[in-house]
Structure 1
């Protein structure tokens, strides 16, 4: 696998000035702020590195905070010879990106879709990851309790059924709206967001068909999670719907250590309260 070299080009340093790095044949945009131990932020679905614009200045006061747009996300052109969109591809890119840092193992912060890729990378290459803070990982391969599986299946159908329908009709912006309303747990959630947040999601609407038709993610079991050689904290909202809460609680049971239940929060906590999210991240990584 070709590694990345974070020499980059295209703009000055700083969280608001994206640069570019070659990672496994893809030109990925990234931003960074601060110095010291690297802390790499990975966004979830229909998003890109801009999600973390409010977070990097906070974490960058103490560390080298970095965020990049994963392959297929962002506004750049897609490569015709790229591997398929999916967790394994994004995990492989993360490994190459971390190797390219040249600064020792990094703390990794992930939200939702990105969580399974981080766990995949941590199992295969623990030498690259100093710790992982994951808010509500999105793949339920380690959920085995029948009651939880039933609740999860019912809620996934309720949330994603309309999303699939919109994608099948080619209504990608509507699919984004439905996904954000479902994640925020109320109708009108997306419409109530600031224009710049909506723009990030809509810029990534083109990934929706790929997200919903991706290859099966790598199978990770509870035994695998228990064998992780790096410190991992799973965070989840107290009020998160079963689609996210069931998976998060199952992961937390499998992974040794302390985990975080965020009072009054849902899946959208990292965006809704950037300061509290960063404070939790900093408490975790600075205790490792």
Structure 2
């Protein structure tokens, strides 16, 4: 069921001001613009619907572009009755959101953590999904090669060890800084970002502890990926560190079809070059 809207679909207000959609007992912030086939953007960890503002403006020139904040993310209050933060909760919410918005079947665009959310939903409810474009999915349940698992484990310790340390000290802003520096692959990456992008990450600093302690995500195997009934493209950066590239390459091997290696890019490519990211998304959608 949809709650009261601040601005209607496709109007000037809807391009700037989010409305709130009632989904499985939570009010999720949602912004959309444009007309036509629905294209739904799902953000990564530590972010919310605002990271897609530039992308929504571009894609909204061609399609009905929708971005929403997944449960627990954004600036809204949390409810103790909610299910725990995690992939299954977010996959259930995605399914309910598509129905509430009358947006199925939708093209889905996901980054990082949200990749596993989309894959889970695509396996359980393929009828609601027209296609999925996933940039660097973040859950390695289908990585089985011993050498890749070793490289992945070593890099996870290097990247997330400092994040865990900051959380244990209660320094959530520091946890954000080291997480984004690690994703951008250089010290000072977070500090170099525009103030509005820093603000989105800092507003979501409270999500880092439950993200690090979330329930086990749905176990998706390579065979499951091979059985997907919707078109899926996996894209990943040529220069991305093993935490992201190992998982992406494994997913690309398992899923039939064309996949993209983005020259000169790292994990932060969707934010660093919104125009190029949207061009890749639109190219994928136009082929469906």
Q: How does 1:193-272 map to 2 (within 5 A)?
A: 193-272=193-272
- 1:110-138 per-position Cα deviation (integer Å, ceiling 9, x unaligned): 00010001000000000000000000000
- 1:73-110 per-position Cα deviation (integer Å, ceiling 9, x unaligned): 00000112000000000000000011122243000000
The residue matched to 1:190 in structure 2 has which SS? coil
The residue matched to 2:216 in structure 1 has which SS? coil
The residue matched to 2:61 in structure 1 has which SS? coil
Partner residue in 2 for 1:82:
82
The residue matched to 1:55 in structure 2 has which SS? helix
Partner residue in 2 for 1:148:
148
The residue matched to 1:192 in structure 2 has which SS? coil
Task: Name the CA distance, whole Å, in 1 between partners of 2:120 and 2:57.
Answer: 28
Is residue 9 from structure 1 mapped to residue 5 from structure 2 by the alignment?
yes
Structure 1 segments, 4+ long, off by >4 Å, are none
Task: Name the CA distance, whole Å, in 2 between partners of 1:228 and 1:15.
Answer: 33
Which 5+ residue runs of structure 2 have no aligned equivalent?
none
Task: Name the CA distance, whole Å, in 2 between partners of 1:277 and 1:8.
Answer: 32
1:14 positional shift: 2.0
Task: Name the CA distance, whole Å, in 2 between partners of 1:127 and 1:6.
Answer: 21
Which 5+ residue runs of structure 1 have no aligned equivalent?
none
Partner residue in 2 for 1:48:
48
- 1:192-224 per-position Cα deviation (integer Å, ceiling 9, x unaligned): 000000000000000010000000000000000
Partner residue in 1 for 2:117:
117
Partner residue in 1 for 2:108:
108
Task: Name the CA distance, whole Å, in 2 between partners of 1:102 and 1:49.
Answer: 19
Task: Name the CA distance, whole Å, in 2 between partners of 1:46 and 1:175.
Answer: 10
Task: Name the CA distance, whole Å, in 2 between partners of 1:55 and 1:7.
Answer: 25
Aligned CA RMSD, in angstroms, stands at: 0.9
1:6 positional shift: 4.2
Task: Name the CA distance, whole Å, in 1 between partners of 2:131 and 2:279.
Answer: 16
The residue matched to 2:65 in structure 1 has which SS? strand
Task: Name the CA distance, whole Å, in 2 between partners of 1:270 and 1:276.
Answer: 8
- 1:226-279 per-position Cα deviation (integer Å, ceiling 9, x unaligned): 000000000000000000000000000000000000000000000000000000
Partner residue in 2 for 1:181:
181
Partner residue in 1 for 2:160:
160
Task: Name the CA distance, whole Å, in 2 between partners of 1:102 and 1:41.
Answer: 15
Task: Name the CA distance, whole Å, in 2 between partners of 1:180 and 1:229.
Answer: 34
Task: Name the CA distance, whole Å, in 1 between partners of 2:103 and 2:202.
Answer: 34
Aligned length: 284
Partner residue in 2 for 1:281:
281
In the superposition, the TM-score normalised over structure 2's length comes to 0.97
1:15 positional shift: 2.4
Task: Name the CA distance, whole Å, in 2 between partners of 1:219 and 1:103.
Answer: 27
**Aligned CA distance change for structure 1 residues 123 and 140 (closer, same or farther; 3 Å):** same
Task: Name the CA distance, whole Å, in 2 between partners of 1:219 and 1:32.
Answer: 32
1:8 positional shift: 4.2
